[in-house]
Structure 1
Amino acid sequence: MAMPRIFLVLILYSVALRFKGLVAQKDAYVPVDSILLNCGSSGDETDSDGRKWKGDVGGKIDLTSQSDVPVKAQYQDPSLPSTVPYMSARIFSSESTYTFQVTPGPHWIRLHFYPASYSSLAASDSFFSVTTGGFTLLHNFSAAITAQALTQSYIIKEYSVNCTTNSLNITFSPSADHPSAYAFVNGIEIISMPDIYYSDDVRLVGFEDQLIDISGNSFQMMYRLNVGGQFISAAEDSGLSRTWYDDTPYLYGAGIGITTAASKKLSIQYSTDTTIYTAPVDVYSTARSMGPDPKINQNYNLTWNFQVDKNFTYIVRLHFCELQYNEVNQRVFDIYLNNQTAQESADIIGWASSKAVPVHKDYAVMASDADTLWVALHPSVGMKPEYLDAVLNGIEIFKINDATGNLAGPNPIPSPLLPDPVADDSDSSPSGNSGKKLHVIGGAAGSAAVLGALAFCVAVYYRKKREGLGPDGMTSGASAWLPLYGGNSHTMGSKVSTISGRSCTSSHVSSMAANLCRHFTFQEIKQGTKNFNESLVLGVGGFGKVYVGEIDGGTQKVAIKRANPSSEQGVHEFQTEIEMLSKLRHRHLVSLIGYCEDDNEMILVYDYMAQGTLREHLYKSNKPPLSWKQRLEICIGAARGLHYLHTGAKYTIIHRDVKTTNILLDDKFVAKVSDFGLSKTGPGLDHTHVSTVVKGSFGYLDPEYFRRQQLTDKSDVYSFGVVLFEVLCARPALNPSLPKEQVSLADWALHCMKKGVLEDIIDPQLKGKINPECLKKFAETAQKCLSDHGMDRPAMGDVLWNLEFALQLQESSEDGKASTTDKSGAPGLFNELNNHSSDGVVGVEAMMNEDASTLTSTEVFSQLISPKGR
């Protein structure tokens, strides 16, 4: 009877999923107007999401212009989600107006910009304004500067405008302040929307009983976050085509809380006030709360930080749905916006009257003097709720036009910490040679400034941490509403952690991680590095400088990585590195000795790595070249470390930054995978991927991860495929000084394999020294790793097995022996493994688990060479 019952459950589950899909489809909004204009294109084309775009060439659209021309982009950035609408554009050298026929009512307007080189025009010369219906959407706007500052390859600007007539005009005007200025646009979306933002007046925070009438205004969408949940694409948003991003990059400080999700038995029940159009089910099905410990929760705020334009008023919409409790006064909390009380004693059950019923609250806040907007939650201790906690499901932030109808802010200032988009560096993207041509590398897809905001948040956090300031700019102990790092006497000045109780500011490190690795005092670190003597610097990375030092009275040599206060990396990566490495032990992973957080420092201590990085043994150094057998053994060691991360740890761990500078070598050339600052826990059993902001290093990034922002362990496999070709060819993953088709090593190697001329690009030091069968197996393995789609790539266990096979072929040829193979083509060395598994993977996993228990005293320090492209 067991089998039929299982089948019945599966059938019922399948039916439930289909029913859920039908309900979602039935409830989805169907816009009256849906105009998708592919500017500069003559035909109708479909984007990667299946949406059809109409070309504007050939009189298909009402365009009034005295000087305009359709053009094609000269280069397609690999991070573009689709060629439509980005690879074509319309250029305007004088004021030009599109006129669209629409029905009256609120509409989304989305403008798509890809600042590439078009014909002989330089992207850096494009400055222009955009107006519609008396509102200024953009003024003196530079898509190139904006993309560079946000480390994106393309920009989407999203607005909401309430149309009062049957026509909508959008005017593009080159800026008069720039002699060579021109305007351009790649795509225009105009989509009607339900009235979910304009219906009610909104209370202005900090001004009692003052309401803002927003019915006649226009908005610019600044941020839209699925708090505690994953990325939600436009296609998954109930017909409103909104994109919801992960909230992690905007969290402030070490207190990031915990994420929760609705149980499968819990069904979200919308009300008349909050419908499925307000936010999709996935937003209300996940949340971020403060955590289960009431003592800790009393001493910190769950805080998000956003970069905004000064001198504007913003609407902050907060989405709530109680997923855990059923009664009023079980969870009650206060809401603060820009250090002002927006809501006292927020009780979701009190608002919604029931569990799993969504509600939303709108607040208006002015950003007069600061370019940051803070959202913070704290338990309402005075209400004596059953649980001292706070929770949030979603955030939307909109800019409201000012009294003159203006929505335009200034162009952002590119951070000096960001890599130069036209620099000739092995980890930079290809770009044109002309100084007038600007090509900007893409990081995160969509309109939110995800990567730029991440760098900003980290920089702001660390600066204020060093100054002892809270988000209000006051000292933590004197905060107007709550000190960030502890209440009562546990202030920043006392340097007492509310978590571990150590005499240091160890708020970044969990008590478990702190107990698993050693804590160093700052005095010990200074003594071990001779007060950070510059002669002891081993290298400089994105996190800071790496010094060679000594501990325990000079008995042990170590590598000490000290954070640079102005680094683009910081608290999150510091915490992640400790959390990961304190719990992982494997012969081919780095071993973290300890850390230091005294005196507001962030310092990591590793065992000294005698032979440095793999990259410096391949090119750009005077070190003797590695033999082919050494290179194979190093690749096998790195593959073992990655395979353990994917399958041997308690949870799947995705490294997310696999490259030759993060594969380090001990004195015996044993490979160790290093730098876990970007690592992320993999998806659970119910998911195939983790939706997250794109991070990594250019040249190694999985293109599928680029396009979809969906991270899997196969993203590491792709990066490792680039490493394999880098080892074989002894050249950088990206080299902009080469001809265009050769810039990307991955693309060039695959092209050469297809043409059958791979031997022409391998390292000259290896010519005639690689067994042909070994080379074939190695190259085929790397080729499979670089498949466009993750599902077509092998698992890391299979990669490891093939590399072991290649090594056996090489050793057999060097010994003058014919390899003994079974019917599957595997050498006799693997027969025992194949006895455990038909594909050999289980046997490899068993071998990895055995390795996991082997500890070495000479391991690794992390990342000597600057990790460009994060």
Structure 2
Amino acid sequence: MRFKLRNLLLIFSTVCIFLNPFHISGSPLLLTCGPNTGGTDADGRKWEPDGKYLVAGDDKSTAAKAGLQDPSLPSYVPYMSARIFQSESTYQFPLQNSSSRTLLRLHFYPSPYPNVDVSKSYFSVVAGSMLLLNNFSAYITAEALSQSYLVKEYYLTPPRSASLNVTFRPADNSFAFINGVEVIAAPEIFDNEPLLVGSYIDARTFTTVPVTASSMEMSYRLNVGGQFISPMNDSDGLMRTWYDDSVYIYGAGHGVALQADTRVGYKKMPPYTAPLDVYRTYRSMGAYADVNKVSNLTWIFEIDPGFMYLVRLHWCDSEMVKVNQRVFDVMINNMTAAHEVDLFGWTNAIATPVRKDYVVITENVTGNDDTHMWVSLVPTNQTRPEFMDVLLNGLEIFKMSDNVESTLAGPNPMISDLMRKYLEGHRMGLKDFEENDSTIIITFGAGGAAAVGVATAVICVVYRRKRKATAGGDSRTSWLPISWNSNTNTTKSSTAGKNQTLVAISTDAASNCRHFSLVEVTSATDNFDESNVIGVGGFGKVYKGVIDGGTKVAIKRSNPSSGQGVNEFVTEIEMLSRLRHRHLVSLIGFCEDNGEMILVYDYMGRGTLREHLYKGNETTLSWKQRLQICIGSARGLHYLHTGAKYTIIHRDVKTTNILLDDKWVAKVSDFGLSKTGPTMDKGHVSTAVKGSFGYLDPEYFSRQQLTDKSDVYSFGVVLFEVLCARPALSPNLPQDQVSLADWAARNVRNGTVENIIDPALKGTVSPDSLAKFVEMAAKCLADHGGHRPSMGDVLWSLEMVLQLQETYESSGAMEGPEEGRSVEYDRENDGEKNETTGYEENDHTFSLYVNQEGR
């Protein structure tokens, strides 16, 4: 009876396991290192103390608490406590399933700890017999990647015993440390023999590589065409992080990011392969066959040479309904990985997930500094497919262990030479960055991979200014024209009877602005004569032009080698065609003839705000003029945040994006990076970090969570730029003065603001006006977005600052209006409603209450 009951229970539990779509092999072991008590992280996961897993007699460690909590930390637990190892020490973790792979995550937070100098920490980590890290410096790695914390993720082959030993070995005269450990019995996600890239001859002739005996380190994990996926939203409880792919795309042609319009399910795919959100979103090239024939979609990654890498591609075609409709080749490092990929032909079904693995060998040649991997999808016409297009949903890259030496360890990453020169003010120094007004794109890679962070960001910017030669030697443009006379969701009938979705400028946007021909634009600028250039930005050159017999305009022409392209072009048109406000620059129209991408704006006779603050400005702005310009800019941003139908986050607020007309009226410009703000119950938009050095919100930079308070932080930098008349970044100054935000905040804390203000302002500024201005600007630079004021509060404070200054100038003393009197400021009919779109401005009147005796 007992035997039957036990069998029934076993069968029942087994059925439950297989019916549970979120099943992983065993419960995860989460350890917070150092303290005697565990804790709960921000996601509600419980972590237990690590002490009982240290091998007895082998432990000479101490517990320590971090001296500083960086605002970018995702959780207090496990990062704010650490275990410090002064000598070799070993953890022994019991394994619930010794026949499966072990997913091991190591968490490092190189913060100041008592009695040790974390910058001098060098150590190795060995798991079983596999060397994971060698002479590793978490401090150097975090600094090179501009990250406050690191996560290393490994998939280890099954050990020969029922436990896993993880040993920390400090270097001579050094120490090791660890903040958190995760041990998870993972499903076998590497269960096949992938094709060796470069060995493909035909469908029957190629070489495969066995990978079941190789341990893996996760290098990149991307949700292609989709947004950031947090660990809590990963499938099967594996707690993986999936990042936006756009920052890794080579060249200006990002293709189009789309979402499936049909239901996507796993079907025969194991749920642990990837979240359904990965298979619901995808990136393709679009519907322009003539352009696609000479184009491709390419991603670029930094790697450690000398290892083999497993490249995993996730596909789910929710559009094609028969074979030979969309066919393409896959190239990795200019070698064929897959030829004539036909996803419907592979699955014989629509919206069916599939993943394929490929292995590429990288060489570690002395003197060879090419540490990049290229992944390209190239349309092929060999089979005469119905559409010239490609598609990708997700991409993962894993470093494979060297089974001869049993190692996954690579060198500590170094900050790129380009970034170093930038910081030192050399070739990419202040002058170049001001004149080119470069906009950067930054992202964080999962697992602390060496390719991720600022080094990759700058490298990607440089590579995007080049045109990649394909394997055949042809220079292939990845330019994507835009169809302006159709809705974004317009469908075009194919011969197969399948409607194909096109990404285009919406009818509303196109009807709200003018469509210029290339002939008109060429004539307006004297054939783009260099004498008419009035500025250069990340998108391209800006020309002064004349249209309609005398109307002055500013014409922004895209640069094919620019880091910006189709996405920015479309966003600018979609945003500005719907927005009408006195303090937003007006878009007149656009041109996209012959592959050009050109935007036409009202001409702003006084140029940028930056031009009147430094760079040899001829006009010295008074304090009152500066305040009026700041107030106008704040009105424009406040309208974006609250006055439109949806919250709009500018994402690139800086003094070069604040323009001045002939009457010194300030207008916010350049909406190419703007995002529609959070909706429903979310307080942020998860997205790759985009913006400009010196103005980036550190919280957004670290967590990829964009809010309207990110604009507030950038505007705070602008305010101090106005006050101090110096750039946001000055690489030629001493290190503690390079960043204006840091320098200003430090002087505010020390009460020495008078030492940093523009000498031209001294003796002309009301002390109370200055004090209120500095107080408000400093609040804008708070580390946490929740501690910053709203743009409405900033606007209110600036108007008060102006009233205090005007009272000071009119009376010669600091006397305000009668106590309790309401000083109302009419907004000069700034609000204009666009009847077509429903975007409108809040028609608020701001009331300022100023004490008669001042502050």
Normalised TM-score (structure 2):
0.71
Task: Give the C-alpha shift of residue 288 in structure 1.
Answer: 0.6
Quick one: which of 481, 485, 491 aligns to 2:477? 485
Question: 2:381 aligned with 1:381, yes or no?
Answer: yes
Question: 2:55 aligned with 1:54, yes or no?
Answer: no
AA partner of residue 198 (structure 1): F
* 1:361-394 Cα shifts (integer Å, max 9, x gaps): 1222222365322222233423333332221111
Judge conservation of contact 2:572–2:670 (CA < 8 Å) in 1.
Answer: no
Judge conservation of contact 1:833–1:843 (CA < 8 Å) in 2.
Answer: no
AA partner of residue 70 (structure 2): D
Question: 2:344 aligned with 1:344, yes or no?
Answer: no
Question: 2:622 aligned with 1:631, yes or no?
Answer: no
Question: 2:201 aligned with 1:205, yes or no?
Answer: no
AA partner of residue 243 (structure 2): Y
Aligned counterpart, 1:193: 186
1:553-592 aligned within 5 A: 571-573=562-564, 584=576, 588=583
1:355-754 aligned within 5 A: 355-368=350-363, 371-404=371-404, 405-418=406-419, 444=444, 446-447=446-447, 448=449, 449-463=452-466, 465=467, 469-472=468-471, 475-476=473-474, 483-485=475-477, 499=481, 518=521, 528=531, 571-573=562-564, 584=576, 588=583, 613=609, 617=613, 627-643=622-638, 645-646=640-641, 654-660=649-655, 663=658, 669-673=664-668, 679-680=674-675, 689-696=684-691, 700-702=695-697, 704-706=699-701, 708-721=703-716, 723-724=718-719, 737=736, 743=742, 745=744
Aligned counterpart, 2:39: 45
Q: Which moved more, 1:786-795 or 1:46-55?
A: 786-795
* 1:456-506 Cα shifts (integer Å, max 9, x gaps): 23333435x2xxx5254x632xxxxxx5228xxxxxxxxxx7859xxxxxx
1:22-421 aligned within 5 A: 27-30=21-24, 32-56=26-50, 61-62=54-55, 65=58, 67-103=60-96, 104=98, 105-119=100-114, 121-164=116-159, 165-175=161-171, 180-195=173-188, 197-207=189-199, 208-238=205-235, 239-263=237-261, 266-272=262-268, 274-368=269-363, 371-404=371-404, 405-418=406-419
SS at match of 1:341: strand
AA partner of residue 242 (structure 2): W
Judge conservation of contact 2:88–2:168 (CA < 8 Å) in 1.
Answer: yes
1:413 to 1:168, Cα distance in 2 relative to 1, 3 A: same
- Please give the alpha-carbon distance, in whole angstroms, between the structure 1 residues aligned to 2:587 and 2:307: 47
Judge conservation of contact 2:539–2:565 (CA < 8 Å) in 1.
Answer: no
- Please give the alpha-carbon distance, in whole angstroms, between the structure 2 residues aligned to 1:134 and 1:107: 14
Task: Give the C-alpha shift of residue 306 in structure 1.
Answer: 1.6
* 1:606-641 Cα shifts (integer Å, max 9, x gaps): 9798686559849x9999985443232121121234
SS at match of 2:78: coil
Task: Give the C-alpha shift of residue 33 in structure 1.
Answer: 4.0
- Please give the alpha-carbon distance, in whole angstroms, between the structure 2 residues aligned to 1:596 and 1:387: 26
Judge conservation of contact 2:831–2:843 (CA < 8 Å) in 1.
Answer: no
SS at match of 2:77: coil
Judge conservation of contact 1:805–1:826 (CA < 8 Å) in 2.
Answer: no
Task: Give the C-alpha shift of residue 305 in structure 1.
Answer: 1.6
Aligned counterpart, 1:506: none
Judge conservation of contact 2:217–2:400 (CA < 8 Å) in 1.
Answer: yes
- Please give the alpha-carbon distance, in whole angstroms, between the structure 2 residues aligned to 1:69 and 1:210: 51
* 1:392-444 Cα shifts (integer Å, max 9, x gaps): 1111111111232221222333212225899899xx9xxxxxxxxxxxxx973
- Please give the alpha-carbon distance, in whole angstroms, between the structure 1 residues aligned to 2:709 and 2:829: 27
1:703 to 1:462, Cα distance in 2 relative to 1, 3 A: closer
* 1:566-620 Cα shifts (integer Å, max 9, x gaps): xxxx7324777766667748765579999999xxx999999798686559849x9
SS at match of 1:283: helix
- Please give the alpha-carbon distance, in whole angstroms, between the structure 1 residues aligned to 2:256 and 2:557: 28
- Please give the alpha-carbon distance, in whole angstroms, between the structure 1 residues aligned to 2:565 and 2:388: 28
AA partner of residue 386 (structure 1): E
AA partner of residue 152 (structure 1): Q
Q: Which moved more, 1:622-631 or 1:130-139?
A: 622-631
1:71 to 1:572, Cα distance in 2 relative to 1, 3 A: same
Task: Give the C-alpha shift of residue 44 in structure 1.
Answer: 1.5
SS at match of 2:689: coil
Judge conservation of contact 2:545–2:555 (CA < 8 Å) in 1.
Answer: no
1:826 to 1:802, Cα distance in 2 relative to 1, 3 A: farther
Judge conservation of contact 2:197–2:359 (CA < 8 Å) in 1.
Answer: yes
- Please give the alpha-carbon distance, in whole angstroms, between the structure 1 residues aligned to 2:111 and 2:421: 16
SS at match of 2:84: strand
* 1:811-844 Cα shifts (integer Å, max 9, x gaps): 4676679879999x672636989999xxxx9985
Judge conservation of contact 1:450–1:693 (CA < 8 Å) in 2.
Answer: no
Judge conservation of contact 1:112–1:186 (CA < 8 Å) in 2.
Answer: yes
Task: Give the C-alpha shift of residue 186 in structure 1.
Answer: 2.5
* 1:694-722 Cα shifts (integer Å, max 9, x gaps): 34457754455245412233321343245
AA partner of residue 409 (structure 1): G
SS at match of 1:277: helix
- Please give the alpha-carbon distance, in whole angstroms, between the structure 2 residues aligned to 1:161 and 1:413: 27
- Please give the alpha-carbon distance, in whole angstroms, between the structure 1 residues aligned to 2:558 and 2:351: 43
- Please give the alpha-carbon distance, in whole angstroms, between the structure 2 residues aligned to 1:646 and 1:352: 46
Aligned counterpart, 1:3: none
RCO higher in 1 or 2 (8 Å CA, sep ≥ 6)?
A: 1
* 1:258-309 Cα shifts (integer Å, max 9, x gaps): 011133xx3322123x122111111111111110112222221122122222
SS at match of 1:361: strand
Aligned counterpart, 1:862: none
1:835 to 1:634, Cα distance in 2 relative to 1, 3 A: closer
SS at match of 1:85: helix
Judge conservation of contact 2:123–2:133 (CA < 8 Å) in 1.
Answer: yes
Q: Which moved more, 1:787-796 or 1:96-105?
A: 787-796
* 1:145-173 Cα shifts (integer Å, max 9, x gaps): 33333232322211101333221111222
- Please give the alpha-carbon distance, in whole angstroms, between the structure 2 residues aligned to 1:312 and 1:798: 54
Q: Which runs of 5+ in 1 are unaligned?
A: 1-22, 429-441, 477-482, 487-496, 501-508, 533-537, 849-870
Task: Give the C-alpha shift of residue 116 in structure 1.
Answer: 3.8
Judge conservation of contact 1:97–1:172 (CA < 8 Å) in 2.
Answer: yes
Normalised TM-score (structure 1):
0.70
* 1:551-577 Cα shifts (integer Å, max 9, x gaps): 99xx99999999999xxxx73247777
1:737 to 1:791, Cα distance in 2 relative to 1, 3 A: closer
1:791-806 aligned within 5 A: 796=791, 799-800=794-795, 803-804=798-799
1:77 to 1:523, Cα distance in 2 relative to 1, 3 A: farther
